[in-house]
Amino acid sequence: MSKLDELRKHLKPGGVYRRENLAQWSTAVDRHIKELLVTEELVKLSAGLYLHPKQTAFGRAPADDAILVAAFLKDKRFLITSPNAYNALGVGATQLYNETVIYNHKRHGRLTLGSRSFDFRRRPCFPQKLTEEFLLVDLVNNLKKVAEDDQLLLWRVEKKAGQLNRKTLLQIANEFGTVRTRKFFDALVSNMAKAIS
C-alpha cells in the first residue's frame, strides 16, 4: 500500500480536515494534498482546510455546517443560527436571509469557507442550543438588521414574551442581551409582573 493510499483510508466522506490532521497520516503531506486536490478527493475550503466530499445522486454534497465550523475553529463550543430562525417565533418576522451566524469564542467577522459565507461573532457566552427565549433576545439585539418594521416587531415580541417563562427570559436577556435589550426586557417583565399583581 502506498503512503497516499494510507492517507486515503483515513478520509471519511463529508469529513473536514486541517492540514495538521492530514499530516499525522502522511510523510509528504503537501504533495499528497496536491494529488488529492487534482483527483478531487479533497476540495480546498480555505487556507489549510479541506473537505473529503460525500458523493450523492446530485453530485458532491457540501460540508455539514457543524463539522466545517468545528474544524475551522478547532473548537466545538459555538452556536449556529440565522436570522431565518426568527420566523419560527410567530412575531411577524417573515423575511428570508442568506446568512449563517456563528456565535463563538475565537473569531469575528465575515468569512468564506468553500463557497459559503459565515458571519462569525465572538461572544463571551452563548447557549448551547437555540431556544425561543434566546431567539427573542437575539431578535431584539439585532432589530436594526432585520427588514421588518421595528415598532411592530417589538409589539409582537411583547406579546410573545407573555407566553414564555419570565424568569428564563430575563436571565437570558441579562446574559446575552445588549444594554438596550436588557433594559427592554427588564421593563417588559416588570410591567408583566405589575399587570398580574
Taking only the tens place, the pLDDT of each residue in 32-81 is 999 999 999 999 999 999 999 998 888 888 899 999 999 999 999 999 99
Q: Is the pLDDT reported for residue 147 higher than 90?
A: no
Burial state string for 56-87 with b = 16 or more CB within 10 A and e = fewer than 16: eeeeeebbeeeebbebbbeeeebbbbbbebbb
**Mean pLDDT value across residues 95-110:** 93
Predicted TM-score of the model (pTM) = 0.87
Percent of the chain surpassing pLDDT 90: 76
pLDDT of residue 196: 66
Percent of the chain surpassing pLDDT 70: 98
